[in-house]
Amino acid sequence: MQLNTFKPTLEYAKQLDQEDSLSSFRDEFYLKPDSIYMDGNSLGLLSKRAERRLIEVLNDWKEQGIDGWTQGKHPWFSLSEKLGEMSAPLVGASSEEVIVTGSTTVNLHQLVATFYNPKGTRTKILADELTFPSDIYALQSQLRTHGYSPDTHLIRVKSRDGRFLEEDDIIEAMTDEIALIILPTVLYRSGQILDMERLTAEAHKRGILIGFDGCHSIGAIPHSFSKWDVDFAYWCNYKHLNGGPGCVGGLYVNKKHFGTAPGLAGWFSSKKEKQFDMEHTLTPADSAGAYQIGTPHVLSLAPLIGSLEIFTEAGIDNIRAKSLKINHYLMYLLEKELSDFNFTLGSPREDKKRGGHVSLEHKEAARICKALKENGIIPDFRAPNIIRLAPVALYTSYTEVWEVVQTLKKIMNDKEYEKFKNEREVVA
């Protein structure tokens, strides 16, 4: 799609909304009047269906008590497996390869504890310097538990420009000292998509296991983890998947690794039919369920039932198609309307390299974000100079995108941002 095929008028934005095949899903979500939400890549909005499923699970607790584990509308004992099955099409995996459990960082700890096996010269972990800090903290602590210094054993591939990573640079860093690779599917600042298929193939050529952090891609772009032979992946469910704040996370383990003992075991690692035998010898599940640890947070799982129902109906390929189009439209308007105000687009232009949000760079970014909020628009700020804008395919309209850019133009023309300090809030 070419940016120059768009028109900058409100009438054209309304026409795009009329042609939008996903527009009916907008009614599924709670949208605040007189507000435009552009931060779904940090926390997705509540859907009415997610709310209903939560109420149903609460009612199971109210009516069934402990029998809610096996009875009621959504039996809790197998809910993580059910949600894994519903999530599997989003990541391109079989149902037994996916489980909804833990949180992003807990699942990373589990997977590294399971698959990081330093031997001989292969003792180091390869990551990158642009990844989300929580992943780095986890990797550093895992290295320390093995007696290694993160200063020498955590290798971080450098970015050439501070925005993007080059796959060639990552591959060059896959030396015979690397035991494990952890990379993001989508970079959280710029929205760059890494070539997961290529990186996996190159890692495996060298005998290295590779896993991906899918927090900024699951629910926004299609994946083919099994086809690509990815070893493992992990993600949160509260961004593009709209599972709610702190929603239980997800993980994928390639079935070729089934039978590998979980590095961090707990009673939910068990085969379901053995779990209540209360033996002191673990019999792990012969699926991704083996990499659960403790009892799932059922009330946090519940909204995801409704959210994933919506994704099943909408289809991830349709979601991606609209995401690409509406983000193209956003970039077109930004360049058309804001060329006089020293903004820089910090996201890739190529479709195959860009995830579900657009990064806009400006030296006054923190102040501009505050001015946007005062005008009823919810963006996201990332230090030091990034405004992230995320038109979400399921609930953002083209008209809203047009209004966002017009408001941003007004803020810059009138210098409304100057009344704010150019520093982030406690929660950016």
Show binding-site residues: 104-105, 132-135, 213, 216, 238, 267, 295
- The values of phi and psi at residue 342, to 5°, are 60, 35
285 in Cβ contact with 259 (< 8 Å): no
Does the N-terminal peptide bond of residue 222 adopt cis geometry, omega within 30 degrees of 0?
A: no
Of 216, 249, 214, 269, whose CA–CA distance to 92 is shortest?
214
Q: In one letter, which amino acid is 393?
A: A
How far is CA 409 from each of CA 32, 337, 371, 372, 424, rounded to the nearest angstrom?
Answer: 23, 7, 11, 10, 21
β-bridge mates for residue 378, sequence order: 37
> How distant is the alpha carbon of residue 230 from its chain centre?
17
Of 21, 47, 34, 15, whose CA–CA distance to 242 is shortest?
47
The sign of the torsion formed by the CA atoms of 304, 306, 311, 312 equals positive
Q: In one letter, which amino acid is 246?
A: G
Neighbours of 152 (CB within 10 A): 10
Q: For residue 246, what are its two tokens?
A: 């702190």
Checking 418-426 for CB contacts under 8 A at 24+ apart, the result is: 418/367, 419/371, 420/366, 420/367, 420/370, 420/371, 421/366, 421/367, 422/363, 422/364, 422/365, 422/366, 422/367, 423/366, 424/366, 424/381, 424/383, 425/370
Of 37, 1, 5, 75, whose CA–CA distance to 373 is shortest?
37
Of 241, 160, 257, whose CA–CA distance to 204 is shortest?
257
Per the annotation, where are the binding residues for pyridoxal 5'-phosphate?
104-105, 132-135, 213, 216, 238, 267, 295
